[in-house]
Structure 1
Amino acid sequence: MMSTRVPPSHIRSASQAVVTLAFAASWSLLALQAQGQAADLTSADSWREFRGNSANGLALLAQLPTHWSEEDNCVWKTAIHGRGWSSPVASDGEVWLTTASEDGSQLSVLCIDFATGAIKHDRLLYDNNTPQPDHHATNTYASPTPILDEQHVYVHFGSYGTACLDRNTVETIWERRDLPCNHFRGPGSSPILYENKLIFHMDGFDFQYAIALDRHTGQTIWKVDRDIDYGTDNGDFYKAYSTPIIIQVGGVDQLISPASKTLLALNPDTGEEFWRVRYDEHSTTVRPLFDGERIYFSSGFSKAQMLCVRVDGQGDVTDTHVQWSQRKGIGAKPSPVLVAGRLFDVTDDGILERLDLETGEIVWKERLGGKFSASLLATKTHLYAFDHDGKGYVYTLGDTPQLVSENTLPSGCNASPAVIGDSLIVRTTTHLYRFENR
């Protein structure tokens, strides 16, 4: 059901990236403007959603540390209870994230003071009497990343609940717990904000749809079921975990909405379809990238392919607008990064690589080892990659990147990092860290 002004069930109180254009090629500005993020070009003190304000993992002005440990360049370290892979988001001196108990019976939201690492708020939002049992070991009940505006934090736990909270009081402004979806392997898609809408995907075993809620009231503005031929009646191949992006094509905004077997471009005001591209893979996870003319995305399991698709089509563009596809060694879970005219990807089993933007050819690669889920991050000088075991790799940018450092923490990363000013915010499976050159 949907409700408004719901009092908090439990509250415990205890004490980016600016994108500069001087060094970037012209496509960088086009990409940011096309995603509707021009206003964020002047903001250096926030990372409000999954992969940052521009949705692409870039922190181009940041002077981030290239070496860190629990002793080196660590401003603070804060223990996070429970188990959750949601990425940290931050603004106005606050860092927000969600977590859950191991069995999914309790779902919580936390606010951490950016300056000190102290937990300002720790609220238990939901008690789940019957968590969905078929939960994959690599996922959690708190994997979707929250999103911030000036006054609110919007948290999303898939079918378990979506809520708008007041950032000052952590009081619930509205919540929705009536949106059906058997995630089967757990929720993963994060919400986005577009004008007056909170938009997210619900691609599960039984139901598959995209939905837009009024960000002020939680009322449904539109809901569109996936019209996709999955080629099977096995719902395990229907599910997906990707977070959409907004792009602009010819002055018209498009919602790029990856699902299992098909990526859809929708009208963000109505949910009406503009175009689609089909592929064979399911469980699509990565967030797409846009360079002003083309999108780049990984299709999912099994044996992901990277696709480069022109966005000026109508209808089914599979045979006409796919510029290239690369089927060898592509990551299914970590999102790639596009920086200084170079496309970097890391595979789930630890191969870092650079793909040619025009052909998709893998022109450089290096085996890191380990397992990877966290998305890549880039500044104007360095590339960052984090694995499950606590290793964080830093490489130079260039045609042939060079390893700068290999840094180790006691536990690893399934969440993607965030950047505030010159600080690197890293969530491991047990703690939240702030690293800065000291």
Structure 2
Amino acid sequence: MRRPLIDLRFFEAGLFLSRGLLALWVLAIGLLSTSQAQHNWPQFLGPEGNAYAQSTKLPVTIGEENIFWQTAIHGKGWSSPVIWNNDLWMTTATPDGHKLSVICVDKPSGKIVLDKLLFEVEKPSEIHDFNSYASPTPVLEDGKAWISFGSYGTACLAGRSGEVLWQRRDLPCEHFRGPGSSPILFENLLILHMDGFDFQYVVALDKETGQTVWKVDRQVEYGSENGDFKKAFCTPTIIQVNGQPQLISPTSKASLALDPRTGKELWRIRFKEFSATVRPVYGNGLVFINTGFGKAALHAVDPTGTGDVTETHVRWSAAKGIPSKPTHVLVDDLLFMVHDGGAATCFEATTGKQLWQERLGGNYTATPLYADGKLWFFSQEGKIKVLKASREFEELGESQLGDGFMASPAVSDDLMYLRSRTNLYQVGRKPSAN
């Protein structure tokens, strides 16, 4: 019997349909990925820890017409807002540090849905007036929030219910000037910096149980027995180098790269400054590391070395106009920053060439926000400046809002969430604006 002939037209039509469905599936996955990245802001400085927002609809000027809701936040806390789906989290504390609380806000309405006293501290250490007892930013994953107040306590909460799944209050560290490092997640680990007056170490906890997986003491020559010179406030960053993860972990007098799965040291650089605060930034094959408080320096480091790479892998350094607290923002080959005293600077990232430096006015702690070719700067006095992210200085807008910003902003679904000293704002472009 003869085999029936296949009509190639049907075959081609089916192939075309399959390719079309495949293309639609790929597009849908891409849109889902983009949407999720824009929807959630799960850690300090956003999804990638680099202060990037994907939105193209954020307002250049902010006034009453841009404020969709405003919610008063009690106490004193400089932790930045973080977001997962419709839950927005932050911490706060009584100014004296005796009561440490976590707050969850319903993102669409601004209503506080959880206000939980998490830890009570009988004898909190004194801190600098500039800091708060609730400065570390929470970190989120679906259905869970990890909250840290440094050595005063770390806990994992089951979402809005506020149920404490586990807590640790046995991680010693005399913060002295107050806690500042935010926790981060990597695979099954919650990683914390403890760089205090007395103890200096990195610890990785099992994120589901809170049990210690590894702990590594800092092996750093501080050059002094004065604990003030041993402190740091940095949030670490995970980068990928030749397919391998590195935990970039700045401390006082040095910055270390560790294997985040084990804590094993991979490389380090040394420097003379202490009390480092700025989160490391990675791009163009370089890690940008800020060295500390006061006369801070900036080092661009090639992370492919091993051991002490101070003399071999620092590609360029700068010491003029380098901030002590706000983190830098890397956009392609341009590195933007704002000094605590208000001078904004743009460097060519691969060469270290300074392209411009201009005064914005005011004082700054919050990290600038990048979106859609623009940079937003938020001052301690409540001034908001918007600049074009370019090789030439260009101011696009200026606004005034609230009583000043110590926390860095968050973005979700084309809306900004700005925490001032006393309020949380939902801010967006008014519907009639282009």
* TM-score for the superposition, normalised by structure 2: 0.90
Task: State the distance in 2 between where 1:425 and 1:110 align.
Answer: 14
Task: Report the more deviating stretch, 301-310 or 157-166.
Answer: 301-310
Task: Tell me the CA shift for residue 361 of structure 1.
Answer: 2.6
What runs of 5+ residues in structure 2 fail to find an aligned partner? Answer: 1-32
Q: Does 1:265 align with 2:240?
A: no
Q: Tell me if 1:101 matches 2:94.
A: yes
Greater shift, 110-119 or 41-50, is seen at 41-50
Aligned to 1:164: 156
What residue identity is the alignment partner of 1:68?
I
CA distance in 2 between counterparts of 1:80 and 1:203 reads 28
Q: What residue is the counterpart of 1:21 in the other structure?
A: none
Residues 393 and 204 of structure 1: is their aligned pair in 2 closer, same or farther, counting only changes over 3 Å? same
8 Å Cα contact 1:56-1:289 kept in structure 2: yes
Conserved 8 A contact 2:237-2:248: yes
Q: How does 1:235-250 map to 2 (within 5 A)?
A: 235-250=227-242
Give the total of aligned pairs. 399
**Counterpart in the other structure of 1:299:** 291
Residue aligning to 1:381? 373
For residue 320 of structure 2, the aligned residue among 328, 344, 347 is 328
Q: Kindly provide the amino acid, as one letter, of the partner of residue 62 in structure 2.
A: W
| Aligned mates of 1:389, 1:72 — CA distance in 2 | 21
CA distance 1:364–1:287, change in 2 (3 Å): same
With 77-86 and 391-400 compared, the bigger mean Cα shift is at 391-400
Q: Is the 8 A contact 2:267 2:306 kept in 1?
A: yes
Which residue of 18, 38, 47 corresponds with 1:53? 47
Report the CA distance shift for 1:421/1:401 in structure 2 as closer, same or farther (over 3 A): farther
CA distance in 1, matches of 2:237, 2:73: 29
Q: How is 1:331-342 mapped onto 2 (pairs within 5 angstroms)?
A: 331-342=323-334
The Cα offsets for residues 319-377 of structure 1, whole Å up to 9 and x where unpaired, read as: 00000110111001000101132110100100011012133232101101211100111
**Structure 1: which 5+ runs fail to align?**
1-38
Given candidates 98, 104, 129, the residue that maps to 1:111 is 104
Indicate the SS of the match to 2:65. Answer: coil
Quote the Cα distance in structure 1 between the aligned partners of 2:167 and 2:197. Answer: 23
Query: What is the one-letter code of the residue matched to 2:92?
Result: T
Structural RMSD (CA): 1.3
How far 1:298 sits from its partner (Å)? 1.3
Partner amino acid, structure 1, of 2:226 = N
User: Which amino acid counterpart does residue 129 of structure 1 have in structure 2?
Assistant: E
**How far apart, in 2, do the equivalents of 1:292 and 1:402 lie?**
24
The structure number with the bigger radius of gyration is: 2
State the match for 2:197 in structure 1.
Answer: 205
CA distance in 2, matches of 1:174, 1:292: 39
CA gap 1:40/1:203 in 2 versus in 1, 3 angstroms: farther
- Sequence identity (%): 49
Taking the aligned partners of 2:290 and 2:399, their CA distance within structure 1 comes to: 27
Give yes or no for the alignment of 1:177 onto 2:147. no
Is 1:85 matched with 2:78?
yes
- Secondary structure in structure 1 of the residue aligned to 2:411: strand
**Contact 1:326–1:360 (CA under 8 A) maintained in structure 2:** yes
C-alpha displacement of 1:40:
7.5
Amino acid at match of 1:313: G
Partner of 1:29: none
- The one of 107, 115, 134 equivalent to 1:142 is 134
TM-score w.r.t. structure 1 length?
Answer: 0.89
Q: What is the identity, as a one-letter code, of the residue corresponding to 1:60?
A: Q
Give the structure 1 partner of residue 66 of structure 2. Answer: 73
- Contact conserved, 1:390 with 1:411, CA < 8 A, in 2? yes
Work out whether residues 40 and 54 of structure 1, in 8 Å CA contact, stay in contact via their aligned partners in 2: no
Residues 75/346 of structure 1: CA separation in 2 closer, same or farther (3 Å cut)? same
Distance in 1 separating the partners of 2:155 and 2:265:
27
**Helix, strand or coil at the partner of 1:168:** helix
Alpha-carbon separation, structure 2, partners of 1:63 and 1:339: 18
Instruction: Answer 1 or 2: higher relative contact order, Cα 8 Å, separation at least 6.
Output: 1
The alpha carbon displacement at 1:292 in A equals 4.9
> Following TM superposition, by how much is the alpha carbon of 1:151 offset from its aligned partner in structure 2, in angstroms?
1.3
**Matched residues in 2 for 1:41 and 1:240: separation?**
35
Q: Does 1:401 align with 2:393?
A: yes
2:208 pairs with 1:216: yes
Deviation per CA, 1:143-180, whole angstroms, max 9, x where unpaired?
A: 00000000110000001000000003111000000010
Q: Tell me if the contact between 2:285 and 2:302 (Cα under 8 Å) persists in the aligned partners.
A: yes
Q: Matches of 1:201 and 1:237 in 2, distance apart?
A: 16
Deviations 1:95-123 (A, max 9, x none): 10000000001000001111110111100
For the 8 Å contact 2:337–2:344, the answer to whether it is kept is yes
Displacement, 1:41? 8.3
**Residues 40 and 273 (structure 1 numbering): CA distance in 2 closer, same or farther, change over 3 Å?**
farther
State the alpha-carbon separation in 2 of the partners of residues 204 and 316 from structure 1.
Answer: 23
CA contact (8 A) 2:284 2:350 kept: no
Instruction: Decide which of 313, 318, 336 is 2:310's aligned counterpart.
Output: 318
In the alignment, the residues of structure 1 paired with residue 284 and residue 118 of structure 2 have an alpha-carbon distance, to the nearest angstrom, of 39
Counterparts of 2:34 and 2:263, CA distance in 1: 25
Equivalents in 1 of 2:397, 2:324: separation in Å? 25
Q: CA–CA distance in 1 between the matches of 2:401 and 2:43?
A: 24
Is 2:349 the counterpart of 1:357?
A: yes
Higher percent of residues as helix: 2
Q: Which residue of 390, 402, 405 maps to 1:410?
A: 402
Q: Residue 371 of structure 1 aligns with which residue?
A: 363
